[in-house]
Amino acid sequence: MTAYIVEDGPQSGWIKVYVAGVTTAGGVTTLGSIANPEGVALHISDGYLKTVIDADAAATLDIGIGATGADSTNLCSAYDINGAAHEAVIYIVGKDAASEAAATSPKGLLWAANTFLNFYNPAAQISAPWEGYLYLKYIRIGEDLTLA
Partner 1 sequence: MTVKIISDGPQSHWLKVHIKGNAAVVAATLGSIANPEGVALHINEGYLKIIAPSVGAGDLDIGIGVTGADSTDLVADMNMEGLVANAIYYVVSNNSASADAATTPQGLLWAADTYLNFYNNANFECEAYEAYLYLRYIRIGDDLTRA
- Each residue 99-128 as x (binds partner 1 by CB under 8 A) or -, in order, gives xxxxxx--xx-x------------------
d(CA 68, CA 91): 23
d(CA 139, CA 129): 33
Residue 135 host element (H or E): strand 131-140
Burial of residue 44 (number of CB atoms within 10 Å: 0-12, 13-18, 19+):
buried
Residues 4-43 that bind partner 1 (CB under 8 A): 13, 38, 40-41, 43
- Each residue 50-89 as x (binds partner 1 by CB under 8 A) or -, in order, gives ----------------------------------------
**Contacting positions for partner 1 (CB under 8 A):** 13, 38, 40-41, 43, 45, 95-104, 107-108, 110, 139-141, 143-147
